[in-house]
Amino acid sequence: MKAKTDQRVLSHVDSGGRVRMVDVSDKPDSVREATAAGEIRMSPAAVRAIRDGAVKKGDPLQAARLAGIMAAKRTADLIPLCHPLAVTFVDVSLTARRWGYVISATVRTTGPTGVEMEALTAVSVAALTIYDMLKAVDRTMEIGAIRVTAKAGGRSGVFRR
């Protein structure tokens, strides 16, 4: 008996090797949710500037939340093969750490495809917004550890990291 291998077919590539958008028109709508997280590490001076309200451009945490929400809604404009989705909920949270912030985004929709890319985009753009607002204080900030931490809905079910 032949051993079974787990070779997954890349759905964004056709049999000729050309990229394509996946047709989801036959997939049933379901409630879908994804959460992503990431971090921005910064100097003590940058952390202090945020916590003391001393950032000349304004409150970077509020700007990051808004930027993340806006980015989640525009993901299909940024990622070439992403489906435009009717996003029904976005929450972006920032948790203070001594070295900077953990950023988390949860996105929800009802539709034929998931919202992992929207959650990842929200986290990424929120982090970039903080970087933009603090770069005069700290050009050595690091953005990283961006990953999907949970998803629910659709055929593949629930995933939690």
Q: Could you write out the DSSP letters of every residue in 18-60?
A: -B-----TTSPPEEEEEEEEEEEE--HHHHHHHHTT--TT--H
Task: Point out the catalytic residue in the list 6, 23, 52, 132.
Answer: 132
Burial (Cβ within 10 Å: 0-12, 13-18, ≥19) of residue 98: exposed
Whether this prediction's pTM lies above 0.95 is answered by: no
Average pLDDT over residues 64-89: 96
Q: For residue 1, what pLDDT is reported?
A: 44
CA distance 87 to 34: 11
Kindly write down the DSSP assignment for every residue of 73-89, as one continuous string. HTHHHHSTTPPP--EEE
pLDDT band at 26 (very low <50, low <70, confident <90, very high): confident
Identify whether 23 is a catalytic site residue: no
